[in-house]
Amino acid sequence: MSKGNRIKSVKKNKWAAHCSLHVVLIAGAICFVLPFAWMVLTSLKSLPETTQVPPPIFPAVLRWENYRELFTKLPFLLYYRNTLVMTLGRIGGQALLCSLAAYAFARIRFPGREILFLLMLSGMMIPGYVLLLPQYLIMKDLHWLNSLQALIVPGLFSAFGTFLLRQYFLTLPRELDEAAKIDGANHLQILWHVLLPLSKPALIALMIFTALSSWNDLIWPLIVNNAPQMLTLSVGLAALRGEFSTDFPLLMAGAVLASWPMILLFIVLQRYFIAGIAFTGTKA
């Protein structure tokens, strides 16, 4: 085979691989978008249309009143407020406490540091459902049931968040710490003025993970709160499912309104999120 033919063959193979990759990515994107599109379309249908077999893909008439009816049947803004307060509280708590713990594991040398770090990581192997009963009993003893404290406090710390930030701190050169110490900075000042400004991608990645898990949390709010004024979005939407029938257009309308903040959050911060995940664990 001549050199020109080999070059053409290589280019052809690259083009085929490029096209195959795009076909796979497009197919994957369609698989991810279809459920959301179906949810939006169902939210605009009438109830009889959702019970047809097979159900129509598009509604005969766009019923925007489903969204208005949702706010008349449920205190949806109250659910939004409770979920937002819970999510922001957990984000702030994890950003603060996880960064402090991560700094200690990454920068401070003390006896038993590695053993403590391994013990903390072992907590990630314990299923969260195992901790539900002990945490519930603690909330009950503190008289925190049916309160925002019960929603926020158990989610203030994360072993995963500590691990994520610790790995990112390890990628930052220690010379920065030494220079700050020469200028008279203590550990808290080094963390606040040196490491955290450079760790924005990892912090944003942690915030996105925390926001997603908190916003979609169903089991814990369902256990500790049964007062109507303390329900979150996930619990409120679950209440739309009847024992014998479900108003699917209303349920899908609620799901659309509940999902758009997290979609918008990821779209705005996806650049930092990808950077934080990509650089975590890569030592300088």
Can you spell out the DSSP letters for 90-104? HHHHHHHHHHHHHHH
What is the structure's pLDDT at 123? 84
Every domain of the chain and the residues it spans: 3-43, 65-279
d(C-alpha 159, C-alpha 157), whole Å: 7
Structure tokens at 225: 């709160």
The third-level CATH classification (topology) of the domain covering 65-279 is: MetI-like fold (1.10.3720)
Q: What is the pLDDT of residue 284?
A: 46
d(CA 79, CA 231): 6
Separation between Cα atoms, residue 33 and residue 52, nearest integer Å: 23
Which residues of the chain are under the pLDDT cut of 70? 1-11, 243-244, 276-284
Backbone dihedral angles phi then psi of residue 182, each to the nearest 5 degrees? -60, -35
Residue pair 43/66 in contact (Cβ under 8 Å)? The answer is yes
How many whole angstroms separate alpha carbon 165 and alpha carbon 196? 10
Q: What confidence score (pLDDT) does residue 116 get?
A: 94
In tens, the pLDDT along 96-152 reads 999 999 999 999 999 999 999 999 989 888 888 899 999 999 999 999 999 999 999
What span, in angstroms and rounded, lies between the C-alpha atoms of 124 and 279? 21
Amino acid in position 65: E
What's phi and psi for 184, nearest 5 deg?
A: 95, 15
